[in-house]
Amino acid sequence: MTITYRDSAPASALSEFEERCEAFKTRLQSDDFLHNRGLGNEVGIYTFCYDPRLKAEARRFLDRLKGDPSLPCRIREANLYDILLDICADKKILDAVPKMEEKRGREQLKKRLSSVASAEAFAKRISAEENVPGDVLVITGVGEVYPFMRVHNVLDNIQHLFENTPVVVMYPGRFDGQTLSLFGKLTDGNYYRAFDLI
């Protein structure tokens, strides 16, 4: 499902986003954040929510973080959409996906993809690279894989694999501490173990 916005984000949303980006960068320089301290034995999983109309700005911000030599950490990006494409390519069904959707419909495609691109398969891809102290895993592509994969399912499957590595979900929507709302319009599921980064 693709949701498009005809209007650009208002100046106030952009200004708030830029302030939140600065706060994000500050958190990345915190020793407590990098070592998951002060969380009461919880795994360091965070959401960085933003107005979906600011998708391009969010992408540019993450690219700047990944190339910032002043940060005391390494940003590892896990783009869920790229992972979905890789899984489909490995299963040799990537080229058949558009025809499958056209012939059988979105629901049948969703069932087929769920059987080959499970949350466990995503977790395996994300955790394939060894965690190094000082890494921060940033998950992107959340909106692009909906409804084939829900981010809370991915988080459920990776939380035990990243106990010592902070995980930040770049989330185009809202999180109220319990419910994820993709694009501020779609219920994306409940997740109780995440913290709002800012």
Q: What is the pLDDT of residues 148-179, one digit of tens each?
A: 888 989 999 999 999 889 999 999 998 887 78
Residue 135 and residue 73: Cα distance in Å, rounded?
A: 6
pLDDT of residue 110: 80
Q: Which two tokens stand for residue 83?
A: 């992972």
Pairing label, strands 179-182, 186-190: antiparallel
Question: Which stretch of 49-58, 163-172, 180-189 has the lowest confidence by average pLDDT?
Answer: 180-189
* Tens-place pLDDT, residues 58-71: 999 999 999 999 99
- Place 7 in a pLDDT band, splitting at 50, 70 and 90: low
Which residue in this structure is represented by tokens 């995503």? 122
Residue 196 and residue 198: Cα distance in Å, rounded?
A: 6
3-state helix, strand, coil in the chain (%, to 5): 45, 20, 35
Inter-residue contact 143 to 59 (CB < 8 Å): no
**Dihedral angle over CA of 156, 159, 160, 162, nearest 10:** 150
Ranges of each domain in the chain: 40-80+119-196
Inter-residue contact 71 to 28 (CB < 8 Å): yes
Question: Which stretch of 4-8, 53-57, 100-104, 186-190 has the lowest confidence by average pLDDT?
Answer: 4-8
SS3 label, residue 48: strand
Task: For the chain, list the strands marked E by DSSP.
Answer: 45-50, 74-79, 135-140, 167-175, 179-182, 186-190, 194-196
Alpha helices per DSSP H over the chain: 11-27, 31-34, 55-66, 80-90, 97-104, 106-116, 119-126, 142-145, 151-158
